[in-house]
Structure formats: C-alpha cells, structure tokens
Amino acid sequence: MEFIAKVNAEGKAFVKFLNDGNNYLYFEDGWWSSDIKGENRIREAIVGDRVYFHIKMKIMIIQSL
C-alpha cells in the first residue's frame, strides 16, 4: 500500500492512499495506552512495559492541502 503523509498549515496530519482518489484519512486523535482496547491512556512507560498506540481517523474528501 502506497501513501503520502502531509501536514497542513494548522498542524493537522493527513494520509492520502495513492489508489483512493481524493479521499484522505485525517488523524483525529492518537494516544498510548497500557491495554489493547485503549481504555487506560498513559503518558509514560519504562523499558520492558508493553504499550499500545491507538489512532482515531476520519475520512475527508479534499481537493488539495
């Protein structure tokens, strides 16, 4: 899967999959957690801890960034 990642002037990150026309995936939120479901958000961990990164994305149709 090929994609291009861009950040607009407001600092919002978008990912465009090259085979998907004008649809972009917008990274709406991202966080680390200590559980696979993402319910226990964390801000720090130590070496050896198992952590998970979660992202919430939204599909947007954009002509250009």
* pLDDT tens digits, one per residue of 25-63: 667 788 889 999 999 999 888 999 999 988 787 776 666
Query: What would the two tokens of residue 8 be?
Result: 């607009």
> Confidence class of residue 64 from pLDDT cuts 50, 70 and 90?
low
Q: Cα 11 vs. chain centroid, distance in angstroms?
A: 13
- Stretch (H or E) spanning 50: none
pTM: 0.54
Which pLDDT score, from 0 to 100, does residue 11 have?
67
The yes-or-no verdict on residue 7 having pLDDT over 90 is: no
**Phi–psi pair at 47, nearest 5 degrees:** -55, 130
